[in-house]
Amino acid sequence: MSDTVVLEVRHMNSFYKDPGQKRQQVLKDVSFVVHQGEILGLVGESGCGKSTLSKAILGFVKDYEGEIIHHTKNPQMVFQDPFSSLNPGKKIGWILEEPLRHNSRAGKAERRQQVENMIERVGLTRDYLERYPRELSGGQRQRVSIAISLIQGSRFIIADEPVSALDVTIQKQIMELMISLQEEMGLSYLFISHDLNVIYQMCDRVIVMKDGQIVEEGEIEEVYSHPKHPYTKQLLESSMEW
Amino acid sequence: MLEIKHLTISFYDSPVPDVVLSDFSMTMEPGEILGIVGESGSGKTMMALALMGLLKKTARIESGEILWMGKDLLRASEEELRSLRGNEISMIFQEPMTSLNPVLPVGMQVEESLKIHTDMGKEERKKKALEMMKAAELPNPGELYHKYPHQLSGGMRQRVMIASALVLNPRVMIADEPTTALDVTIQAEILKLLQKINREKKTAILFISHDLGVVRKLCDRALVMHQGVTVEQGNIESLFESPKEDYTRKLLSSIPTRETRLRRRKLHE
């Protein structure tokens, strides 16, 4: 792990308000960094604020205090359900080329070349470019959304439960793909999951969140073998027991 | 007690019928916890829905028998099936919110089967419902009785479902991914509850899940399904310790565990 930092979050407090309701604090004094080349896991149960945090990092949360400092260009996000983010009326090739059409100076032939390279990098063949999202399985769609996140040269990916909706055999393939892409391209991930075993398999370090706060942070082996916070212990025991 | 013989089910949603369950056979003994494991599309839920007589209209049972105490359910009248559901076999689902009525207090929903299947009076029904809610380890049943589903957490809603599934003391409870939507700490509590119910009330549980880790710890026996076909079955130890089929091995090796890591890179390299 290098000392170069791709993301810094400092003393982040975020708030949420439903119409007619009181303003509520979601994130409470959250601070952490993501290093270049690392896979940082973020684990917690529903309502702990992990998804709010990922949205805040990408600027989708307006009501906040604190600092979010990006040291990379164009961080991207991969979601749990890729189907909802893929345009159903367009072929995969068109979808994959779309960000380039808007943000790149590359000509048509060059864009096509980038699209073809990228689809192969995520383990699909070029003929997938001619298919529609509905013709792909869940795992294949997740490969496509990983390709979309990387096509503009982004090196920092926030992955929010990227394997949670997949069957175990497919889950493993996507995890392996993400790890090999990380190694080949030197990517950094903030990998969000509720599944402690998936986090253990994938990550170098882990942050444990509860009720909007970070309760524990450390290297993966250390946290899993010597959890310090009672909540981390409870989480690890519950998932061990079953 | 329950026997399924050579059951084949097809869907007629498209011009070419889609076989979702093929030549499926199994038996279930009183009081056991039988696991049905498989990935999506394996046919595990279709089998359960067929058992409950809840298949959608475009599904057709091509062949086979479902024998309950020797009686073929596929040839039973709607009335016989209705009496069987609830009295003998009940079912809980992954998302209790979709099976609970959002505008009815949960207590009323727990006692609904009593209203349909017994001639118990109002007071007696309420007493029984509160008793079941207590057995499902719901806190303050008296207060909770009047609450609506949306006022309850996911774990509590699943406990309400369990209470209403058990209110007629069925011999079998089918549990289709009952903890999949729950947080890990809540999942552990619900599984413990199912185990307790099985032990104390001798309710047999047909436990359908994609989660092999959970099946291993909860079930006595299990069946592995893949694309509508039974790949392998046996008692839990032999299935997990010495799987015979490639697919079972692949499934087992895909479970994320804390024994090995996919990420091999060392920090501070």
pLDDT of residue A222: 96
Please give the residue range of the domain that contains residue A176.
1-75+155-241
CB atoms within 10 A of CB B15: 5
Q: Is the pLDDT of residue B269 over 50?
A: no
Q: Calculate mean pLDDT across residues B222-236.
A: 95
Q: Is the pLDDT of residue A2 over 70?
A: no
CB atoms within 10 A of CB A234: 15
Q: Do A45 and B265 touch (CB under 8 A)?
A: no
pLDDT of residue A83: 73
Nearest to A155 by CA among A60, A42, A34, A53: A34
Q: Give yes or no: residues A18 and A92 share one domain.
A: no
Q: Do A194 and B262 touch (CB under 8 A)?
A: no
- Give dist(CA A172, CA A168) in Å, integer: 6
ipTM at complex level: 0.79
Residues of A with CB below 8 A from B213's CB?
Answer: 242
Contact of B212 with chain A, judged by CB distance below 8 Å, is answered with: yes
Q: Is the pLDDT of residue A105 over 90?
A: no
Q: Give yes or no: residues A95 and A201 share one domain.
A: no
Nearest to B257 by CA among A197, A240, A215, A60: A197
Q: Do B255 and A183 touch (CB under 8 A)?
A: no
- pLDDT for A140-193, tens place per residue? 999 999 999 999 999 999 999 999 989 999 999 999 999 999 999 999 999 999
> Which residue, of A112, A136, A153, is where some domain finishes?
A153
CA distance B217 to chain A (A): 6
Q: Report the chain B residue with the minimal C-alpha distance to residue A44.
A: B183
Q: Give yes or no: residues A105 and A223 share one domain.
A: no
The pLDDT-based confidence of B260 (bands split at 50, 70, 90) is: confident
Q: Which of A36, A40, A168 to mutate to test the interface with B (most CBs of B within 10 A)?
A: A168
> What's the number of domains chain A is made of?
2
DSSP string computed for A213-224: EEEEEEEHHHHH
Residue A88's H or E segment, with its range, is none
pLDDT of residue B238: 94
Q: Give yes or no: residues A69 and A112 share one domain.
A: no
Would you give the DSSP letter of residue B58?
A: T
Residues of B with CB below 8 A from A138's CB?
Answer: 40
Q: Do A197 and B258 touch (CB under 8 A)?
A: yes
Q: Which of B184, B195, B227, B247 to mutate to test the interface with A (most CBs of A within 10 A)?
A: B184
> Which residue, of A153, A176, A195, is where some domain finishes?
A153
pLDDT of residue A17: 87
Q: Is the pLDDT of residue B196 over 90?
A: yes
Q: Report the chain B residue with the minimal C-alpha distance to residue A221.
A: B258
Burial B209-230 (b: 16+ CB within 10 A, else e): bbbbbbbbebbbbbbbbbebbb
> What structural domains and CATH numbers belong to chain B?
1-88+172-255 (3.40.50.300), 95-169 (no CATH)
Burial B121-136 (b: 16+ CB within 10 A, else e): eeeebbebbbebbebb
> Which residue, of A113, A129, A153, is where some domain finishes?
A153
In a domain, A21, yes or no: yes
Those residues with Cβ within 8 angstroms of residue A66's Cβ, 6 or more apart along the chain or in another chain: A9, A10, A11, A12, A13, A29, A30, A31
Question: Please, is B114 exposed, middle or buried when counting C-beta atoms within 10 Å of its C-beta (0-12, 13-18, 19+)?
Answer: buried
pLDDT of residue B268: 47
Q: Give yes or no: residues A50 and A108 share one domain.
A: no
- pLDDT for A202-223, tens place per residue? 999 999 999 999 999 999 999 9
In a domain, A1, yes or no: yes
The residues that bridge with B89 in the sheet, in sequence order, are: B85, B172
Q: Calculate mean pLDDT across residues A36-58.
A: 93
Nearest to B212 by CA among B200, B197, B196, B226: B226
Q: Give yes or no: residues A20 and A135 share one domain.
A: no
Q: Give yes or no: residues A68 and A172 share one domain.
A: yes
Residues of A with CB below 8 A from B37's CB?
Answer: none
Q: Give yes or no: residues A133 and A166 share one domain.
A: no
Those residues with Cβ within 8 angstroms of residue B165's Cβ, 6 or more apart along the chain or in another chain: B90, B91, B92, B173
How much of chain A exceeds pLDDT 70, in percent?
Answer: 99
Nearest to B117 by CA among B75, B64, B170: B170
Q: Report the chain A residue with the minimal C-alpha distance to residue B214.
A: A242
- A vs B: CB pairs below 8 A: 89
Q: Give yes or no: residues A136 and A159 share one domain.
A: no
**Residue among A168, A198, A202 minimizing CB distance to B210:** A168
Q: Is the pLDDT of residue B115 over 70?
A: yes
Q: Do A238 and B188 touch (CB under 8 A)?
A: yes
Q: Is the pLDDT of residue A56 over 90?
A: yes
In a domain, A198, yes or no: yes
Residues of B with CB below 8 A from A224's CB?
Answer: 258
Q: Calculate mean pLDDT across residues B23-43.
A: 94
Contact of B190 with chain A, judged by CB distance below 8 Å, is answered with: no
- A34-38, A113-117, B149-153: the lowest-pLDDT one: B149-153
The pLDDT-based confidence of A61 (bands split at 50, 70, 90) is: very high
- The token pair at A78 is 């991969």
Q: Give yes or no: residues A215 and A104 share one domain.
A: no
Q: Is the pLDDT of residue B265 over 90?
A: no
Q: What is the CATH number of the domain that holds A232?
A: 3.40.50.300
**Residue among B40, B183, B267 minimizing CB distance to A46:** B183
The pLDDT-based confidence of B68 (bands split at 50, 70, 90) is: very high
The pLDDT-based confidence of B266 (bands split at 50, 70, 90) is: low
Residue whose pair of structure tokens reads 């895909």 in the numeric block: B254
In a domain, A80, yes or no: no
Q: Give yes or no: residues A6 and A70 share one domain.
A: yes
pLDDT of residue B99: 85
- The token pair at B230 is 């039974």
- Alpha carbon A219 to its chain centroid, in Å, reads 19
In a domain, A45, yes or no: yes
Q: Give yes or no: residues A92 and A140 share one domain.
A: yes
Q: Do A194 and B188 touch (CB under 8 A)?
A: no
Quick one: CA dihedral B251, B253, B254, B257, positive or negative?
Answer: positive
- pLDDT for B122-151, tens place per residue? 999 999 999 999 999 999 999 999 999 999
How far apart, in Å, are the Cα atoms of A178 and each of A120, A186, A189, B120, B262?
A: 14, 11, 9, 59, 10
